[in-house]
Amino acid sequence: MGSPASLRTLPVALTIAGSDSGGGAGIQADLKTFLAMGVHGTSAIVSLTAQNTTGVSAVHDVPTDFIQEQIKQVVTDMKVVAAKTGMLSNADIVGAVAESIKDLQIPNLVVDPVFISKNQDRLLSEKALTDLIEKLLPLAEIVTPNLYEAGALLDTETSTLPHMREAAKRILELGPRAVLIKGGHLEGNAVDVFYDGTDLVEIDGPMIDSPHTHGTGCTLSAGIAAELAKGSPLLESVRTAKDFVSGAIRNGLSIGRGYGPTNHGWRFIENPDRSKT
């Protein structure tokens, strides 16, 4: 008989988000990011989407009691040391998720406030947005809005670096322990602004010319959660996650007829396009 397999453990992270049937964003992107960054990924699915690289054709929301049961079963069995939220499509879901996170005392929460699309379409009702601000942001270790979302959270224009600096300070007053405003829609380099009440840090990065960027926001927030799960300091977690996302965009996948996904396996897949080998 062979020797018994050695037993291993990994930090556990939880994603609470929607499912992307095309595999580029949402739960699927989060779990691939967790794996690539060395943590065990768990999930609570809040919505099912029928989508591909060209768009979303249908959304089916999961009942809130079942969302809460998913979270409960994961957290009461495994030691979840970090979590992230993604798309929460209505006020009832926002409230149910916030209640579970608070009651179960889930630490190191990364809130990706997915409520404005890259086409600047509003994805949440006013009631759901209000509940996200009042119920979820105060539970967050960090919140990661893009430029449009930062502006909507404050009902003000956020389109320049000075705007971002001011917005980061004002969003911190809504309750999270830190804020990261993503500058992917800025002119020039992709500068993100981090603020934790003490340090205001600009994190520069190259603007990578690629259409295959589906799921970048999900990947970034999942990367931050993964690093927090491993015990990294918050700002270091942000920098590491941004580096990972840059590599995933640089090696993006031309899959489907529309905007392809970032490549979560860029560190260990030598030839992603195996159809050409």
**Residue 23 annotated in active site:** no
Per-residue confidence (pLDDT) for residue 274, from 0 to 100? 46
Angle at 76 between CA 71 and CA 81, to 5 degrees: 80
Q: Outline where the chain has alpha helix (H).
A: 26-36, 64-75, 91-103, 126-131, 147-154, 161-172, 216-229, 234-250
Confidence category of residue 121, pLDDT binned at 50, 70, 90: low
Considering the candidates 15, 33, 158, 216, report the single residue annotated as catalytic. Answer: 216
Considering the candidates 213, 242, 252, 262, report the single residue annotated as catalytic. Answer: 213
**Residue 213 annotated in active site:** yes
- Mean pLDDT, residues 45-53 taken together: 94
Per DSSP, what are the bridge partners of residue 20? 49
- Mean pLDDT, residues 166-187 taken together: 92
Considering the candidates 64, 84, 85, 218, report the single residue annotated as catalytic. Answer: 218
d(CA 150, CA 162): 13
Per-residue confidence (pLDDT) for residue 243, from 0 to 100? 95
**Residue 182 annotated in active site:** yes
**Residue 215 annotated in active site:** yes
Q: pTM for this one?
A: 0.94
**Residue 85 annotated in active site:** no
Per cent of the chain over pLDDT 90 is 77
- Mean pLDDT, residues 150-178 taken together: 94
Per-residue pLDDT tens over the stretch 178-200: 999 998 777 777 899 999 999 99
More confident residue, 2 or 49: 49
Cβ neighbours around 71 below 10 Å, total: 26
Considering the candidates 23, 215, 223, 260, report the single residue annotated as catalytic. Answer: 215
CB contact at 8 A, 22 and 51: yes
CB contact at 8 A, 33 and 264: yes
Considering the candidates 151, 183, 217, 223, report the single residue annotated as catalytic. Answer: 217
Per cent of the chain over pLDDT 70 is 93
Per-residue pLDDT tens over the stretch 262-273: 999 999 886 545
- Mean pLDDT, residues 75-80 taken together: 98
Weakest-pLDDT range from 66-80, 117-131, 208-222, 241-255: 117-131
Beta-strand relationship, 55-61 and 40-52: antiparallel
- Mean pLDDT, residues 210-217 taken together: 88
Considering the candidates 182, 183, 184, 262, report the single residue annotated as catalytic. Answer: 182
Is the pLDDT reported for residue 275 higher than 50? Answer: no
